[in-house]
Amino acid sequence: MTTPPSLAGRRVLVTGAAGFIGFHLARRLLAAGAEVHGLDNLNAYYDVSLKRGRIALLQGEPGFSFSELDLVRHEDMLALFAAFRPDLVAHLAAQAGVRHSLDAPRAFTSANVDGFLGLLEACRAHPVSHLVYASSSSVYGTGSVPPFRETSQADQPVSLYAATKRANELMAHSYAHLFGIPSSGLRFFTVYGPWGRPDMAYYSFTSAVLQGRPIDVYNHGRMKRDFTYVDDVTEAIARLLLVPPAAAAPRLGLEAAGAAPHLIYNVGNNAPVELGRFIATIEQSVGRKAELRYLPMQPGDVMETSADVSRLAAVTGFRPSTSLEAGIGRFVAWYREHRLGR
């Protein structure tokens, strides 16, 4: 019987390690026995102390090392690859924020396009077994009907952020085709959980309800999101790191991954939640009613996100399944302890 692959002893580069998902993934990989080198530029898009707090926890773990480095410094990226020699790469660094992309577009093309190019060039110069990178459910834009499938149309983005993430997928495909870099893009669906980003709705809503401030409810609450708990996301990434496209293709009934060793996966909970239920879940966990301020739809938003995760399940045997009630409960408990000190 063939022994299944293991992360133990693997050298994994995690970009965006001070970020929300990157931090949780690094902890998951370290627990599995991997040697992890984290990279992050610690930018000030949101509270840097939160990022430094995550890194401080990681630096207390054996097998973890860290570089404060910006992806756009291409020569430094090449030097890092030459020194660390990663076997696997989990690329989670990016300028995030759909609405922020309306105000600071150049930050997105710099970090998400030029930065990703630097990473691809480093993987070209120092070949890796598998590059897994973060895309986004936002790439589906207005051209797809829920539930979204990886084969659905994804050429009508409604924000620059979404456009940069779709560009990443096309860039990865071209480098896979030209240089044989095995790559998998992960379309994340509204990831939430402890140590999350303050600009995300679940975080800002919880903060507002606890402090008695009103919360802005866009499109009068008539929206749905496929909320995905962060531990489910890191489990999916950890499993997919060990299944490059050539190994995944037979599990999908494909002779090969296609013209290039590149595949796309949805990573979502496959259970869209109406905004009203989402707010009610926060109210229940906090123990206080929210004051709602209804507003029109914001530019860059979509009505609904919903993930078909059959491809992920076929390749990994795993489906995200944490309920919103359980996940929000864990987040609120973390928020009370780490942000309110009680």
- Which of the following is catalytic: 46, 140, 161, 202? 161
* 130 neighbors 241 (Cβ within 8 angstroms): yes
**Residue 161 annotated in active site:** yes
Contacts of 113 (CB under 8 A, 6+ apart): 164, 167, 168, 171
Contacts of 258 (CB under 8 A, 6+ apart): none
Rounded CA separation 278/213 (Å)? 17
Report the catalytic residues.
161
